[in-house]
């Protein structure tokens, strides 16, 4: 689909399709270039502004997807006056510039376009639909109300006994502070892209790689009866029940590595333990990192004795116990990641909301109404930047650069 946005959209449609169809109705048209050569038979649509996604006049050409077809239509459009190729994210940027969406919605859209798991899709859809924006607008209104109260006090501050803010004022600020704090404590949206990080660790030959392969459902890691088979860190990102995971297989931990390479592998494995959300410990009970999940692996082997306190007894070879481990991992990950249907903050939004919360907390601490008014103004400014009422070009370049061409 080729989309044209801007004042020349109607002329472009007329030039290629020979006519402009009635608004918002798909119709079949023969597309021709300036020389009259037939390029394609396509569905065309005409959306007059300003009620369009970009807020401008918009035309769409739904062509047959062959590369040569697209190139021919693209070429015919390129020679028309006033038309040029869109930059990555330019349609969304125009939608933002024309007030069709705000920044939080644009970010939600970017996340939606890159969503790889069910959970990411659900979270992005909430933000793209404006849930976060509405929440911020609500807070902004409240702060505006508080500001008005302070201004009122300031106006009458010359008169006697009127410079005190009412008791409920501080209480209102405190309650808003609490609400922001609750939002800031929520899992961040980047976590959805990174996935819940599960590191498999233990001494050599305990079956880490075999379990890793079972969890990621592919033969990603080499397994063998030779101790020290895995030397490097192997990562695989998969979705289980729509929840994003990154599983990490590591070299077996032991004293006295056979060679320098194994020693590096062991150092890397140890570094991974620190980055894990959960460590699956396949070694001797109690010898793993604190809070690791004790796994008794290779349960199908003859003479198998599960280690004491094992949370999971399983065999990656027969599959026994693996499903139950996966279910428990999904539960743990769901707690640590944004909940479906709940708006989540990204790094930019988190930083600005922290700023708003800090200014609000300062407003609560100070008693001079002048200072209170100033802190409330700072709070509002942070909210404005969150939804893009106050932004810089640089910031917009970075943000919309995330999109691909045509979005
Ligand atoms: N019967 C049985 N054999 C297993 C099981 N898991 C692993 N093995 C075997 O045990 C050997 C070691 O398994 P790996 O998965 O390579 O062990 P590892 O912990 O990754 O070993 P290193 O990479 O050397 O640290 C291989 O021969 C596997 O086939 C299991 O659940 N049952
Ligand atoms: Mg291994």
Residue in the block written with tokens 């006049």: 57
Among 207, 222, 247, 303, which is best to mutate for testing ligand 1, by the most ligand atoms less than 8 A from CB? 207
Q: Is the CB of 216 under 6 A from ligand 1?
A: no
The answer to whether the CB of 177 is under 6 A from ligand 1 is: no
Distance 203 CA to ligand 1 centre (A): 11
More confident residue, 406 or 50: 50
Q: Is 133 in the pocket of ligand 1 (CB under 6 A)?
A: no
**Pair 179, 227 in one domain:** no
Nearest-atom index, ligand 1, CA of 230:
23
Who surrounds ion ligand 2 at CB < 5 A?
A: 208-209, 229-230
pLDDT reading at 234 higher than 60: yes
- Is residue 352 domain-shared with residue 330, that is, in the same domain? no
For residue 301, which ligand has an atom nearest its CA? 1
**Calpha distance 140→176 (Å, rounded):** 10
Whether 315 maps to a domain, the answer reads yes
pTM: 0.76
- Residue 91 domain-assigned (yes or no): no
Do both 200 and 332 map to the same domain?
yes
117 shares a domain with 139: yes
Based on the fold, state whether residues 261 and 308 are members of the same structural domain.
yes
Looking at the fold, whether 211 and 124 belong to one and the same domain comes out as no
162, pLDDT greater than 60: no
**Per-residue pLDDT at 260 exceeds 80:** yes
Q: Which ligand is nearest to the CA of 204?
A: 1
pLDDT digits (tens, 9 = 90+) for 336-350: 998 888 888 988 899
Which has more pLDDT, 386 or 202? 202
| Average of per-residue pLDDT values in the chain | 91
- Between the CA of 299 and the centroid of ligand 1 the distance, in Å, is 12
Quick check: is 97 in a domain? no
| Domain annotation covers residue 123 | yes
Domain count, the chain: 3
**Shared-domain flag, residues 112 and 72:** no
Ligand 2 centre to CA of 30 (Å) is 60
Asked whether the predicted pLDDT for residue 160 surpasses 60, the reply is no
Asked if 290 and 322 sit in the same domain, the reply is yes
Instruction: Determine if ligand 1 sits within 6 Å of the CB of residue 222.
Output: no
> 381 burial class (0-12, 13-18, 19+ CB within 10 angstroms)?
middle
Is residue 404 very low, low, confident or very high in pLDDT (cuts 50, 70, 90)?
confident
Q: What dihedral angle (degrees, nearest 10) is formed by the CA atoms of 72, 78, 81, 83?
A: 130
pLDDT band at 163 (very low <50, low <70, confident <90, very high): low
Report if residue 269 sits inside a domain: yes
Share of the chain above pLDDT 90, in %: 70
Residue 96, domain member (yes or no):
no
CA distance 391 to 28: 42
Q: 303 lies in which domain range?
A: 196-336
Residue 46 CA, distance from chain mean position: 33
Q: Nearest C-alpha to atom 1 of ligand 1 is from which residue?
A: 301
pLDDT exceeds cutoff 80 at 305 = yes
Ligand 1 atom having least distance to the Cα of 206: 19
73 and 111: one domain?
no
User: Contact, 248 vs 198, CB < 8 A?
Assistant: yes
> Is residue 190, in this structure, part of any structural domain at all?
no
* pLDDT at position 155 over 80: no
């Amino acid at each position: 689909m080729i989309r044209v946005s801007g004042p020349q959209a109607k002329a472009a449609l007329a030039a290629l399709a020979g006519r402009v169809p009635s608004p918002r109705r798909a119709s079949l048209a023969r597309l021709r270039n300036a020389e009259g050569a037939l390029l394609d038979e396509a569905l065309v649509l005409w959306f007059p502004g300003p009620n369009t996604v970009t807020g401008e006049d918009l035309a769409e050409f739904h062509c047959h997807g062959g590369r040569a077809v697209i190139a021919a239509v693209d070429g015919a459009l390129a020679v028309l006056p006033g038309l040029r190729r869109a930059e990555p994210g330019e349609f969304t940027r125009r939608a933002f510039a024309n007030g069709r969406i705000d920044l939080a919605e644009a970010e939600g859209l970017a996340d939606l376009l890159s969503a790889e798991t069910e959970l990411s899709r659900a979270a992005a859809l909430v933000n793209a639909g404006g849930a976060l924006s509405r929440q911020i607008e609500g807070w902004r209104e409240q702060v505006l109300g508080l500001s008005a109260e302070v201004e009122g006090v300031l106006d009458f501050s010359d008169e006697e006994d009127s410079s005190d803010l009412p008791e409920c004022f501080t209480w209102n600020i405190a309650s808003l502070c609490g609400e922001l704090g609750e939002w800031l404590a929520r899992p961040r949206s980047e976590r959805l892209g990174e996935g819940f990080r599960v590191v498999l660790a233990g001494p050599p030959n305990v079956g880490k790689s075999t379990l890793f392969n079972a969890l990621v459902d592919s033969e990603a890691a080499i397994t063998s009866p030779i101790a020290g088979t895995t030397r490097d860190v192997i990562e695989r990102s998969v979705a289980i029940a729509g929840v994003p995971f990154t599983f990490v297989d590591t070299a077996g931990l032991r004293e006295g590595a056979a060679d320098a390479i194994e020693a590096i592998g062991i150092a890397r494995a140890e570094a991974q333990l620190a980055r894990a959300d959960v460590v699956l410990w396949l070694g001797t009970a109690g010898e793993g990192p604190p809070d690791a999940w004790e796994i008794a692996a290779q349960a199908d082997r003859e003479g198998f004795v599960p280690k004491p306190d094992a949370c999971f007894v399983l065999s990656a070879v027969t599959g026994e116990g693996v499903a139950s481990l996966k279910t428990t991992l999904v539960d743990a990950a769901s707690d640590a990641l944004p909940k479906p249907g709940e708006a989540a903050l990204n790094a930019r939004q988190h930083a600005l909301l922290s700023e708003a919360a800090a200014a609000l907390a300062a407003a609560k601490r100070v008693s001079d109404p002048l200072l209170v008014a100033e802190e409330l103004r700072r709070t509002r400014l942070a909210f404005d930047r969150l939804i893009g009422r106050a932004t810089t070009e640089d910031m917009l370049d970075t943000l919309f650069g995330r999109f691909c061409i045509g979005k």
